[in-house]
Each structure stands twice: as structure tokens, then as C-alpha cells.
Amino acid sequence: MIAIFESGGKQYLVSKGDKIQVEKLDAEAGKSVTFDKVLFTSTGSDATVGKPYVSGASVQGKVLKQGRGEKIHVLKYKPKSKYRRKIGHRQAYTEVEITKV
């Protein structure tokens, strides 16, 4: 069984046992989370598409860890004016293991 759900403005295609990184959630490691905004579910030949969400469907997962991604360097530059800025950014994420679809 597979499902497509929405979290943090992004969509994820998952099945049971998958490990994914979603935008940061307010949950500690070891806690369970439920995603209710399911857009699509499929079991073999039977598929259900939501308008916009499938009613009664949910995806459950267990939080593995909270983390931060790789550093991204942002450079700003304006020619002929000696303007240069270098800024770094690390995006926070939550790693989740899907336990039930």
C-alpha cells in the first residue's frame, strides 16, 4: 500500500517502512505522529484520489530524530560598489519512519 500526503507545503510518496525527512515538526524522538492530509492511496489495483484530501485516511509514523541539513552558502554581490555579503543557512528537519498507511 502506498500513499501521498502533504506536510510542510511539500508532498511525499510513502509506503510502510520508509524513512523520510520532512519539515521540522514539534515532536520529540520516539513519539508518534499522524499525517491527516492524505491526497492519494493505493492498494494494488484499487486507487483512491482525494478532492483535495481522502476522507478517513491517515499516515502514521514514528519520529526518529530532529536534525539540520547541510549548510547552504548564499552570496550577494553588486559590481562596482564593493558590496559583498556571505550568509550561511541550515534547514531544520525531522526524520520520520512510516509505521502505518
How do the domains of the chain map onto residue ranges?
2-100
Do residues 46 and 54 touch, judged by C-beta distance below 8 A? no
* Calpha distance 26→24 (Å, rounded): 7
Query: What is the percent of the chain where pLDDT is above 90?
Result: 86
Q: What is the pTM of this model?
A: 0.82
What is the pLDDT averaged over residues 87-93?
96
Do residues 61 and 98 touch, judged by C-beta distance below 8 A? yes
* Calpha distance 81→95 (Å, rounded): 44
User: CB neighbours (10 Å) of residue 54?
Assistant: 19
In this prediction, residue 45 has a pLDDT band, given cuts at 50, 70 and 90, of: confident
What is the pLDDT averaged over residues 25-42?
93
> Quick one: CA torsion of 12, 17, 18, 23, rounded to 10 degrees?
70
